[in-house]
Structure 1
């Protein structure tokens, strides 16, 4: 036997021996559980930078009372140990993946070289705020991007003037372009910011991540 599987057999033998000495005949503890109840995201939750995961393998020869805490780094990568008994690990890019997709990929990698049928457990421990963005286009605007802070309401009138407009901006014909997440259809609405300025705030719409705001310039007719 040679290659990764041979190395893995040696690691398992060492791990079992170390575990036997450490436990001095004690029985293995039950499946690991965090002292703090992990968050329960929906099945469609996508992992992002800064998220923290609880990770363990039920087949790990070295048992532990607590799972590993794994953090998604700035590149979207996360590193998962093959066993508590060694520094051997696998690194995956998990940004944009669900927990189920990530666990399935970890299992595939483990089964390829180390386990016969690894039982991978992965839970979300902590999430980081997701900052949405609004894109500004058009010759009447002074900026091109606005970041939306989670939990903080931002409406179109305040957003446009926060980013800034020039003296030629046509504030009566500002376009709000939005893709409906359910139908994926693009919807465009013309917003009169001058009317909002005068007190009619009915169209002072709350912005959503992914919105596009087109601030045009006024047109002038110099013909006779």
Structure 2
């Protein structure tokens, strides 16, 4: 009973802490587990794939995705790859190889994400030294994106920076970013994680 009492006390304390930290009407943006990062990446034209067939090195190849979205695999022939995940491609190759070898084990690995840059980008606009559109990478933050744009100009109002995130059906949500605190004071409370499609806008000061 003492153990369950301790658990109940801990849960109650956590609930009180959650209530105490309330008050913000708009929660800060977080890394979206459903965002199209590399783990959920859909293969595109010109991506490079490594096909490995366990215990069958002659069937293991490194192939690019052709403009028609297909790859060519020994014994199997052409397989559609564009717009699919590596697991989906691997499953089809494995199924077709089963006609020729017993219990094939197939692994498909992306070795070069050449189409990724065109599909998943983060953009930084406004009073930065080099407005930029950069490929998204997992773990990227607002600070990473702004530094890639060369930082802010002398005319910037960094604490009025906004992070715009697409929320579906043509709408977006704006999040305020205290960029000056991040840059000048090392305060990372607003150094939010970004995701593909985000736009960071740094406005100019009002003169």
* TM-score, length basis structure 2: 0.53
Structure 2, unmatched stretches of 5+, are 1-38
For the residue of structure 2 that corresponds to 1:51, the secondary structure is strand
Whole-angstrom CA distance in 2 between matches of 1:100 and 1:204: 34
| One of 58, 65, 74 as aligned partner of 1:81 | 74
Whole-angstrom CA distance in 1 between matches of 2:158 and 2:72: 50
Note the alpha carbon deviations across 1:75-98, whole angstroms, 9 max, x for none: 464212346xxxxx43x5513313
| One of 160, 167, 170 as aligned partner of 2:146 | 160
Deviation at 1:191, TM superposition (A): 0.7
Q: From the superposition, tell whether residues 198 and 77 of structure 1 become closer, same or farther in structure 2 (CA, over 3 Å).
A: same
Deviation at 1:102, TM superposition (A): 3.9
Note the alpha carbon deviations across 1:95-121, whole angstroms, 9 max, x for none: 3313565478779xx9xxxxxx96896
Aligned residue for 1:26? Answer: none
Q: Cα RMSD (Å) of the superposition?
A: 4.3
* TM-score, length basis structure 1: 0.49
Q: How many residues align?
A: 155
Pick 1 or 2: higher relative contact order, CA cutoff 8 A, min separation 6. 2
Relative to total residues, which structure has the larger helix share, 1 or 2? 2
Deviation at 1:189, TM superposition (A): 0.4
Tell me, yes or no, if the aligned pair for 2:160 and 2:176 is still in contact at 8 Å: yes
Q: From the superposition, tell whether residues 199 and 126 of structure 1 become closer, same or farther in structure 2 (CA, over 3 Å).
A: closer
Aligned residue for 1:136? Answer: 124
Deviation at 1:171, TM superposition (A): 1.1
Answer with 1 or 2: which has the greater Rg. 1
For the residue of structure 2 that corresponds to 1:194, the secondary structure is helix
Tell me, yes or no, if the aligned pair for 2:90 and 2:107 is still in contact at 8 Å: no
Aligned residue for 2:52? Answer: 54
